[in-house]
């Protein structure tokens, strides 16, 4: 069982009708110890109908050069206990969490052209990953593609672009068919097919819709790109027998 840790809500900002940004500060003078691309698991203190603790994983949105404070972003999910808790929690409240967790990190010595594909709320993991110190050598050769259902979905485009590190090779933000739409997966495969098969692509990272992620992971591996399940962080539509992703 993971050792619980505690942080205080230092600030809370609404970024839309169903999106809230939270800055948290650790209650003791210690480093969180995270690398860009990792997540924490928030324990709301509430109980699910099945009797289990209501917990959920959230990507760390902040830069890993700062380890005493960290930022999370929550989308309110109808009926979601943890997202409801984070949207209602007051500044100054202490929150219990565990982590950091996750392996969405570049390999030591990684170099060359890199694809970072985020679908839906997976953009938080993508921002954290690209902002990490370990990712810095890859920035200039990175293509970041964020696909979301509508222009107003989750995070404002201006906020995302402002959070991305300087020196990132290229950024594209586009709309795709809704979650679970039958044309979503064919649309994504057609949109990113040339990127996946690009001769110079060395590695790729995928975050968001698991149904998209694991099909594209197969495509990447077939194309000879260095990508494993460690390069994937799924927030929903997760295949069975995979580790829980961030959200």
Residue 8 host element (H or E): strand 5-16
Q: What is the DSSP letter of 110?
A: -
Can you list the domains of the chain with their CATH numbers? 5-101 (2.40.30.10), 113-236 (3.40.50.80)
Contact 12, 27 (CB under 8 A): no
What is the structure's pLDDT at 3?
Answer: 85
Could you report the per-residue pLDDT of 207-227, keeping only the tens digit for each? 999 999 999 999 999 999 988
Q: What is the mean pLDDT of residues 193-212?
A: 95
| Residue 49 pLDDT > 70 | yes
What is the structure's pLDDT at 242?
Answer: 41
Contact 40, 64 (CB under 8 A): no
Residues in contact with 198: Cβ distance below 8 Å, sequence separation at least 6, in sequence order: 113
Could you report the per-residue pLDDT of 59-105, keeping only the tens digit for each? 999 999 999 999 999 999 999 999 999 999 999 999 999 999 999 99
- Which whole-number Å values give the CA distances from 241 to 120, 174, 179, 205, in the listed order? 22, 31, 21, 20
What is the structure's pLDDT at 244?
Answer: 40
Could you report the per-residue pLDDT of 139-157, keeping only the tens digit for each? 999 999 999 999 999 999 9
What is the structure's pLDDT at 1?
Answer: 67
What is the structure's pLDDT at 15?
Answer: 96
| Residue 241 pLDDT > 60 | no
| Residue 246 pLDDT > 70 | no
Contact 145, 174 (CB under 8 A): yes
pLDDT bucket at 188, cuts 50 / 70 / 90: very high
- Percentage of residues in the chain with pLDDT exceeding 90? 91
Q: What is the DSSP letter of 138?
A: G
Q: Tell me how far apart the alpha carbons of residues 6 and 40 are, in angstroms, rounded to a whole number.
A: 11
Strands in 27-177 per DSSP E: 39-47, 53-59, 69-75, 94-101, 113-119, 142-148, 170-175
Could you report the per-residue pLDDT of 14-37, keeping only the tens digit for each? 999 999 999 999 998 889 999 999
Q: Tell me how far apart the alpha carbons of residues 233 and 103 are, in angstroms, rounded to a whole number.
A: 8
Q: What is the mean pLDDT of residues 199-209?
A: 96
What is the structure's pLDDT at 243?
Answer: 40
Q: Which residue has the higher pLDDT, 195 or 30?
A: 195
| Residue 245 pLDDT > 70 | no
Could you report the per-residue pLDDT of 110-149, keeping only the tens digit for each? 999 999 999 999 999 999 999 999 999 999 999 999 999 9
């Amino acid at each position: 069982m993971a050792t619980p840790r505690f942080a205080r809500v230092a600030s809370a900002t609404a970024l839309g009708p169903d999106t809230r940004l939270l800055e948290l500060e650790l209650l003791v003078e210690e480093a969180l110890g995270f690398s860009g691309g990792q997540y924490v698991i928030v324990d709301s203190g509430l109980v699910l109908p099945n009797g289990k603790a209501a917990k959920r994983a959230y990507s760390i949105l902040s830069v890993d050069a700062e380890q005493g404070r960290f930022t999370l972003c929550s989308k309110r999910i109808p009926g979601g206990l943890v997202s409801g808790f984070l949207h209602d929690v007051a500044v100054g409240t202490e929150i219990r969490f565990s982590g950091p967790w996750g392996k969405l990190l570049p390999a030591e010595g990684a170099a060359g052209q890199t694809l970072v594909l985020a679908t839906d709320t997976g953009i938080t993991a993508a921002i954290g990953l690209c902002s990490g110190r370990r990712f810095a050598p890859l920035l200039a050769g990175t293509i970041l593609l964020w696909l979301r259902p509508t222009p107003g979905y989750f995070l404002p485009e201006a906020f995302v672009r402002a959070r991305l590190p300087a020196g990132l090779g290229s950024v594209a933000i586009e709309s795709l068919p809704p979650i679970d739409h039958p044309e979503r997966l064919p649309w994504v495969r057609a949109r990113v097919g040339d990127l996946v098969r690009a001769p110079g692509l060395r590695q790729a990272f995928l975050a968001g819709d698991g149904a998209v992620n694991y099909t594209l992971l197969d495509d990447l591996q077939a194309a000879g790109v260095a990508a494993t399940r460690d390069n994937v962080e799924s927030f929903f539509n997760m295949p069975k027998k995979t580790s829980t992703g961030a959200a």
